Structure 1
């Protein structure tokens, strides 16, 4: 896979090398998806990262094909899909990596979602017993809030219309 940065545009261009029957996903969020794929490798390969993952461009290329085959939209959910990809591929996953990928997806939702919903809660079969929460900020000057919480067994599942609930 090759990556070319366009200085005058905020996007990355990815080309799958070699023989491939599958093409890269082409949807309206494609350039943002490419930037987020770049972010996956940067975040997880960062020496200061808690996740301590070794993510190669070859793995990202494999992930793109995997997501495209399943017709997944590579939007704010890309980090959660990457977690699913690594889990399904039986690749090494640390608790920190699982937490980071799910909370990154929740965080990205706060930028992508333009609805009236104020909060997202992500539940994952891979990281059972926890929920990953992001709350939009009311003003640009106020930071959004991100939480990882244990699931309360007394939670009756009542959720109001201001929350987006996702099961991955």
Structure 2
């Protein structure tokens, strides 16, 4: 695994979980897998801290299994996939949690994406009627811009190749 977090587009694909916490595959170290799960727990708790939600080690382990089965890339999309996991599992989600996970994912895209695209728009069936937007900054000294906007019509982005459009 590369040591540069931003250069590794699928930074959490190396996390290995067994069917239970005590059963880990023999070809990976137990301590490395647990360390990575603790790291993901901290990463996921960052956007959720505002809503006072906490993600447990066990829930993250369950999420990693869920994501691995679907072959999801856990880079900047980790937050939207975690939202999908919680929604599909019928776990508690508040509007604030949904907003924070979606906008945080859009925000992380501005760091991970190296294309010429300037903006991402995320639409979610979990939060219909809204779009979550992040715009890259042109200079390191200028902050990126984040928006949550109510929408009437979905913008498919086909008219503007500078935008990344994501539907989840």
Identify whether the pair has TM-score above 0.5, normalized to the shorter chain: yes
Report the CA distance shift for 1:90/1:69 in structure 2 as closer, same or farther (over 3 A).
Answer: same
The answer to whether the 8 Å contact 2:78/2:105 transfers is yes
Structure 1 pair 154–102 and aligned structure 2 pair: CA distance change class (3 A): closer
Runs of at least 4 residues off by over 2 Å: 1-50, 152-159
Spell out, residue by residue over 1:34-56, the C-alpha distance to the aligned partner (whole angstroms, 9 max, x if none): 99975663366579932221210
Return closer, same or farther for 1:84/1:107 CA change in 2, 3 Å cut-off. Answer: same
Deviations 1:37-85 (A, max 9, x none): 7566336657993222121000000000000000001111110000000
Displacement, 1:135?
A: 0.1
RCO comparison, higher one (Cα < 8 Å, 6+): 2
The answer to whether the 8 A contact 1:78-1:105 is kept is: yes
Q: 1:120 to 1:12 in 2, by over 3 A?
A: closer
Deviation per residue, 1:93-136 (Å, 9 max, x gap): 01010000000110010011101000000000001100000000
Gaps of 5+ in 1: none
Greater alpha carbon shift after TM alignment, 40-49 vs 52-61: 40-49
- SS at structure 2 position matched to 1:18: coil
